[in-house]
Amino acid sequence: MKVCVIGGSGLVGRVTVNDLLRQGKDVKVIDVKPPKIKVDYSRVDISDVNSTSREIKQCDFVVNAAQYYFNLKVMEASLIAGVSYADLGGLFWMTKEQLPLSEKFEKEGILGVVGIGAEPGITNVSASYLVKKYGTPRQIKFRNGWITKGNKFNWSIDTQLDEATMSAVVWEEDKYVKYPPFSKSELFKFSNPVGEVKVYLTIHSELATIPYSFPGVSKVDWMEGGEGIETLRLLANLGFGDKEEVMGISPRKYLRSLLEKKELLGSNPDGWESAVTTVDNKHGIEVLMPPQGEFDGTQLGAGSAPAVALEVGMKGEGVLPPEKTIEPEPFLNSLKRRGFKVFFF
C-alpha cells in the first residue's frame, strides 16, 4: 500500500510517517517543507486542488495531517483523484461542512474518515467500544488533560486559538446548545503522571458526530485542560485570537510570528496526555499517551492514530467518523503495542 501523508514534515505528520514506514508501507510526504528523513517527497501548495490531486493519484490512501483549514480542499483533491482519505480532525464547524460530501465519496466508491487523530479519533473509537459493550447511554463525556514541564505550544496555535475563541457546542436534551468558551470547568482526575487537572468547556469535533452515531444519547460534552491552557485563555481574552487587523497587523499573525521567533512552537519532550471517555458516569476508557523520543504525548497520540487505523483497517464508503468505520478492540490493542496505556473502568 502506498500512503500519501499531507503535512508529513510537521510535528504530528512525522509521527504518522514514521509509524507507516515501520509497518512497511510505501510512504510519500506532501508538504511545503522537505521531510527530515529520506522518503519520497513532493513540494505542493495544497490550496491548489488540481496540483494536490495529481500528486495523490498515485497513492492508495491519503492522510491529511495539515492544518484543518485545508480539509475541504484536500477532500476535493481526493475526490478528483479517486483516493480514499483520512484526516486528524478539525473543529465542530469544519466536521459539519465535511460530512455532506459523503454522497460524492460514495459515488466514487471511496472512503473519507473525518477526525482520526487523538481527540477526535481515539476518543470516538473509545466511545464505540463502550456503546458496544454497555449499550447506548444517556450521557457521554470526553475529558482531555496533559502535563509537561515545557512551555511550548506543541500543536497548531491556530487551532488552539480557535478553541479559545469560538463558542463551545454541547449536546443537551437532544439538541445543540452553545456556550462561551471556558464558561464551564471542573476538576478531573486523570491517571498519573497527568493527575488532577482543571478542565474547561471548549469547541470540539466529537460533538459533530457522536450524537448521530449513537441515537438515544441525550448529553455529550467535551472539556480539556493542562499546562498552558490558562495562558491560552489570557491571550484570547487580550485579543490575540483575533484575525482582524489592528494598527495594520492581525493580532493572531503577530502572536504566531512572535512565538516562532521565541522558539515557543514545538515539542515538550516530557509531555504526557490523557483522553478519557465515560458513559453515564459508570464506565469508561482512559488512553494515556506517553512521550517517545523527540515526540511528546500530544504529538504521538494524534500522529499514531491514523497509522493505527490503516493497520487495523477502515471499512465503508462515503464520509464517516471513526466510530462508524473502525473496529474498536483491534484499534485499542494496537495502541497498547505502541506503548500507550489503555485503562478500562
Architecture, CATH, for domain 122-295: 2-Layer Sandwich (3.30)
Q: What is the pLDDT of residue 155?
A: 74
Local structure of residue 318 (DSSP, 8 states) = E
Element (H, E) at 42: strand 40-43
* pLDDT (average), residues 248-273: 90
Q: How far is CA 172 from CA 6, 77, 86, 206, in A?
A: 36, 36, 29, 14
Q: Is the pLDDT of residue 269 over 90?
A: no
Q: Is the pLDDT of residue 154 over 80?
A: no
Query: Residues spanned by CATH 3.40.50.720 within the chain?
Result: 2-117+302-333
Q: What is the pLDDT of residue 259?
A: 92
Please enumerate in sequence order all residues whose Cβ is within 8 A of that of 205, keeping only pairs 6 or more positions apart, or say none: 89, 90, 91, 92, 94, 95, 114, 115, 120
Map residue 79 onto helix, strand or coil: helix
Q: What would the pLDDT profile of 20-70 be if each residue is shown by its tens digit?
A: 999 999 999 999 999 999 999 999 999 999 999 999 999 999 999 999 999
At CB < 8 A and 24+ separation, what contacts does 334-341 make? Answer: 334/308, 335/122, 335/287, 335/304, 335/308, 338/19, 338/304, 338/308, 339/290, 339/292, 340/287, 340/288, 340/289, 340/290, 340/301, 340/304, 341/191, 341/286, 341/287, 341/288, 341/290
Backbone angles phi, psi at 298, to 5 degrees: -60, -50
Q: What would the pLDDT profile of 156-182 be if each residue is shown by its tens digit?
A: 899 999 999 999 999 999 999 999 999
Map residue 86 onto helix, strand or coil: strand
For the chain, percent of residues with pLDDT exceeding 70: 100
Q: What would the pLDDT profile of 309-324 be if each residue is shown by its tens digit?
A: 999 999 999 999 999 9
Query: Residues spanned by CATH 3.30.360.10 within the chain?
Result: 122-295
Q: What is the pLDDT of residue 265?
A: 86
**How far apart, in whole angstroms, are the C-alpha atoms of residue 13 and residue 74?**
15
Q: What is the pLDDT of residue 68?
A: 96
Question: pTM above the 0.85 mark?
Answer: yes
Task: Compute the mean pLDDT over every residue in the chain, rounded to the nearest whole number.
Answer: 96
pLDDT band at 152 (very low <50, low <70, confident <90, very high): confident
Please enumerate in sequence order all residues whose Cβ is within 8 A of that of 260, keeping only pairs 6 or more positions apart, or say none: none
Architecture, CATH, for domain 2-117+302-333: 3-Layer(aba) Sandwich (3.40)
Sign for the CA dihedral angle at 198, 282, 213, 123 comes to: positive
**How far apart, in whole angstroms, are the C-alpha atoms of residue 206 and residue 188?**
19
Burial of 276 per CB tally in 10 Å (0-12, 13-18, 19+): buried
Q: What would the pLDDT profile of 110-120 be if each residue is shown by its tens digit?
A: 999 999 999 99
Local structure of residue 322 (DSSP, 8 states) = G
pLDDT band at 288 (very low <50, low <70, confident <90, very high): very high
**How far apart, in whole angstroms, are the C-alpha atoms of residue 79 and residue 55?**
13
Maximum pairwise Cα distance, the chain? 56
